Structure 1
Amino acid sequence: MKKLIFAALAALTVNASAQAWPSKPIRIVVPYPPGGSSDIIARAISQPLAEALKTTVIVENRPGANGNTGTDSVAKSSDGHTLLLCDVGALAITASVYKQLPFEPSKDLRGVTMLAYSPHLLVVHPSVKANNLQELVALSHKEKLNFAVTAIGSAPHLAGVAVEKATKAEWTYIPYKGGSQAIGDTVAGQTQVLMNGMLATLPMVQSGKLKVLGVSKATRVPLLANVPTIAEQGVKGFESGTWQGLLVPAATPPAVLAKLSAELTRIIRSPEVRERLVSQGAEVYTMSPTEFTSFFERERKNWAGVVAAGGVKID
C-alpha cells in the first residue's frame, strides 16, 4: 500500500513540475549564424511554441568554434529554459573531430525530438564548367577548386571528404562559421564547390545563383526530379544530410522533456509548418527522446570512421 502511495505522490510531483514549467521566457540557442537550416527551422517553430506554452520564445544565434560555443552554453545552462536547436549529425561528429571539448554531447545533453531532415546538395558556382559529378571530378584535376565548408568537422564537410575519397577528386577546403556564409561566398565565386543542406541552399539553386550537380539522398527528391543522386553518379550507397533536432541540458526533468517533445512534435507536423518546410526541400522527421538517443549514438559511430579516414582533427 505504501509503495502505491509513494508512486502516486511521485506522479503528482512530476505532473506539477510540468504544469509549472515554463515560468519565464524560453531561449532557443542556434549555434550558427542566421540564415542556415537550423536557424530557419528555429524561427519556423518559435511562434507556435510560444503560443502553445504561453510564454515568450526567443531565437538566439550564438556561433563560434564550429557550433561548440553555443552548444556549450546550453550544456552548462541551469535555468531550465534554454534549449538547443542544431544539426544533430554535426553534434554527433564533434567528439571525433575535437581532441578536447568543454562538454560531452552524449552525457551533457538530452534529445527532445528530431524535427527535420534535409539532404545535402552538391552545388557549384555557375561559372564552373561541370554539369555532373564526373565532370567536376575531372575538372578538379585540371583547375584549383575551393570547397566551402560550413564548419570544420560538420556533416557537409565530412560528406565532401567522403565524396572526394570515393571519386579521387581534388579540392581545397575553405572553412566558414556556418552555412549562410559558405553559401554567400560560393554565390560570390570566392569558392567554387559546396555541399550544404537543401533547406538553406535550394533558394540559390532556384534563382540560378548556384548550379546543382547532385543530391545526397538514396532517391531523387521531387523538387529536383531531374537532378541525379550522388549514388547514381558512381558513389554507391552514398547518403548524407542535415538532421535538425532540439536538445536540452541533461538535468532537465523528465516531465518537461515529455511536454516539450509532445508540443514540438505537434507543431512540426502541423500543416502550416510542414508545408513551409517541404516547399523548401526539408522533410519533417520526428523521433521520441528514446529514438533520438539511439539515432545519435548510431551517427556518432558511423561518422567516427569517416573522420578517421579523412584525418580530420582539431586541437
Structure 2
Amino acid sequence: MPTPLLAQGSWPSRPVRIVVPYAASGGTDLLSRAIADAMRTYLPQPFVVENRAGAAGVVGSEAVMRAEPDGYTLLVVVSTHVMNRYYLASLPFDPIRDFTPIAMLSRNSMVLVAGSGQPFDSLRAMIDYAKAHPGRVGTGSTEALSSFIGQELARRAGAEMPDIAYRSGGQLMNDIVAGHLPTGWTSTVSAGPHMQTGKVRVLAVANAERAAAVPDVPTAQEQGIAEFDFSGWVAMLAPPRMDPALARTISAAVQKVFEDPAFQQRILAMGVERDFRPAPALLDAMQRDDRIWAAAAEAGHIRPQQ
C-alpha cells in the first residue's frame, strides 16, 4: 500500500461511512458510490454510502458536524452547502468553520433539461413559450444553486417560471422523462443516463464555457443570456477539529482513487467532470463562494426561505 495512506497507522481499522445528505440516485450519490467502490482497491476496509436527505442537505450535514473526527464519518456535498447560509432562514452550523475540508472532487456543470414532448427545443423557444404562457413552464431544482439558476434565468428573461423543488436529481429526471415536469436544472451526472434515450433534450449549459459531458449543447450565454455563468462543485468534508495529519491521509487516499485511469474512465462515462483539489484549494473555493453569495444576498437576488 502506498506510504502516504499508512501515515495514520491503523486508519481505517473498521468500515468508513460516507454520508450523502441528499436522496439516492442523484449525481452526488452516484459519484460517492463510485468513490466508495474504488476505495476498496487501496484500503483494507469498506466505504459505505449512507443517504441522509432532508432540509436541502442540512440534516445529513449536521449529523456529520456532530460526529467524532476520527476518520470514520465523512460527508460529500455540493457547493450549495455554502450557499445555504443565505438561502435558508437558519442553519445549525457554519458551513465553512464547522467542517474539516478534505478535497474538492469534481466540477458540477448545470444543464437545463426538458422532455422531448415539450413544445420547445431550445432555450430561446422555451423563454418565448414561458412568456406566452405565464406560470406554465415550471423549472425543477434540487438545491439552492439549481433553484437560483432557474429563478435568475426567469428574472433576466422577464418570464414567470415557478421553481419546483425535488429531493434529488434522479427524481427530477424521472418527472422530466414522464412529462410531469416541463424543465429542470440539474447536473450532467443526473441527466447523463437519460440523454441517449431520446426522451429528453438538453437546452443549455449554465457555465460560461460548454461542458465536456455535453460539448454540442450551447451555453446560455451563447443563446443570448449575457454574463450567465454558474457552476458548482462536489467536495468531501469531515467533522470539525480533525487531526490535520488524519485529514491529509484521507485526502491522499481519495487522490489516489482520482488518479486511477480506470476510475477516471468510469466517472467520465457518468458525466462527471473530474476536478480533484486538495484541502487548501477546497477551502479557498468555499470562501470565494461565500463572498459571491453574500454579495448576491445583499443585492436582493437571494432571499431566505421562510
Residue-by-residue CA offset, 1:195-242 (whole Å, 9 max, x unaligned): 100011122122122111111222223543332111111122322233
User: Which runs of no fewer than 5 residues in structure 2 stay unpaired?
Assistant: none
In the TM superposition, what are the counterparts of 1:132-211 in structure 2 within 5 Å?
Answer: 132-143=122-133, 144-151=136-143, 154-211=144-201
Residue-by-residue CA offset, 1:55-102 (whole Å, 9 max, x unaligned): 121110111111111111001111621000111x11010111122111
In structure 2, what is the equivalent of residue 273 of structure 1? 263
In structure 2, what is the equivalent of residue 42 of structure 1? 32
How far residue 262 of structure 1 moved from its aligned partner, in angstroms, is: 0.9
Residue-by-residue CA offset, 1:169-193 (whole Å, 9 max, x unaligned): 2211111112211222222222111
Among 62, 66, 79, the residue aligned to 1:72: 62
In structure 2, what is the equivalent of residue 213 of structure 1? 203
Among 73, 81, 95, the residue aligned to 1:82: 73
* TM-aligned CA distance change 1:256 to 1:169, over 3 Å: same
* TM-aligned CA distance change 1:259 to 1:275, over 3 Å: same
* TM-aligned CA distance change 1:200 to 1:16, over 3 Å: closer
How far residue 282 of structure 1 moved from its aligned partner, in angstroms, is: 1.8
The share of aligned pairs that are identical, in percent, is 27
Amino acid at match of 2:73: T
CA RMSD of aligned residues (A): 1.9
How far residue 106 of structure 1 moved from its aligned partner, in angstroms, is: 1.3
In the TM superposition, what are the counterparts of 1:241-252 in structure 2 within 5 Å?
Answer: 241-252=231-242
How far residue 115 of structure 1 moved from its aligned partner, in angstroms, is: 0.9
The DSSP-based 3-state class of the residue aligned with 1:273 is helix
In structure 1, what is the equivalent of residue 290 of structure 2? 300
The DSSP-based 3-state class of the residue aligned with 1:135 is helix
Q: Is 2:151–2:161's contact at 8 Å kept on the other side of the alignment?
A: no
Decide which structure has greater helix share: 1
How far residue 311 of structure 1 moved from its aligned partner, in angstroms, is: 4.2
In structure 2, what is the equivalent of residue 128 of structure 1? 118
Q: Distance in 2 between matches of 1:284 and 1:223?
A: 11
How far residue 248 of structure 1 moved from its aligned partner, in angstroms, is: 0.3
Q: Distance in 1 between matches of 2:36 and 2:197?
A: 28
How far residue 127 of structure 1 moved from its aligned partner, in angstroms, is: 2.0
Q: Distance in 2 between matches of 1:235 and 1:293?
A: 30
How does the TM-score come out when normalised to structure 1? 0.89
Q: Distance in 1 between matches of 2:212 and 2:146?
A: 21
Q: Is 2:86–2:302's contact at 8 Å kept on the other side of the alignment?
A: no
In the TM superposition, what are the counterparts of 1:215-234 in structure 2 within 5 Å?
Answer: 215-234=205-224
Q: Is 1:74–1:83's contact at 8 Å kept on the other side of the alignment?
A: yes
How does the TM-score come out when normalised to structure 2? 0.91
Q: Distance in 2 between matches of 1:58 and 1:223?
A: 27
Q: Distance in 2 between matches of 1:301 and 1:159?
A: 17
Amino acid at match of 2:141: V
How far residue 16 of structure 1 moved from its aligned partner, in angstroms, is: 8.9
How far residue 158 of structure 1 moved from its aligned partner, in angstroms, is: 1.1
Count residues in correspondence. 298
Q: Is 1:113–1:246's contact at 8 Å kept on the other side of the alignment?
A: yes
In structure 2, what is the equivalent of residue 236 of structure 1? 226
